[in-house]
Amino acid sequence: MVKKKQEEKQKEIMTAKDVADYLNLHPLTVHKYAREGKIPAFKIGTDWRFHRKYIERWIKEKLTYNTNGKDRRQTTLI
């Protein structure tokens, strides 16, 4: 079990299911986000693939935006 988790951490290219598990989302939501360009992804044939580095960068950008956005909203309301 520990070895499997270590292998998952080492994967650079992830499937939609891998990303769904990583982000605690439903796989169909991950597919939808990929289709709409809301999450960094690329297609191999008909299958979506995700590069772990870009997913992690996307998460950091979302966190930064949400944090800065909250500050921006507070200053505008005052």
- Whether the per-residue pLDDT at 76 is higher than 60: the answer is no
Instruction: Provide the CATH number for the domain around residue 40.
Output: 1.10.10
In a domain, residue 16? The reply is yes
In a domain, 58, yes or no: yes
Indicate whether 48 belongs to any domain: yes
Q: Can you give the pLDDT at residue 13?
A: 96
Residue 1 lies in a domain: no
- Arithmetic mean of pLDDT, 17-44: 97
pLDDT of residue 64: 87
Q: Is residue 4 part of a domain?
A: no
Domain count, the chain: 1
What local confidence, expressed as pLDDT, does residue 54 receive? 97
Q: pTM of this prediction?
A: 0.72
Domain that holds residue 23: 9-77
φ and ψ at 36, to 5 degrees?
-85, -5
Compute the CA torsion angle 48, 49, 53, 54 (nearest 10 deg).
Answer: -20
Answer with the residue of higher pLDDT: 3 or 30.
Answer: 30
- Non-local (6+) Cβ contacts of 11 within 8 A are 18, 52
pLDDT surpassing 80 at residue 63: yes
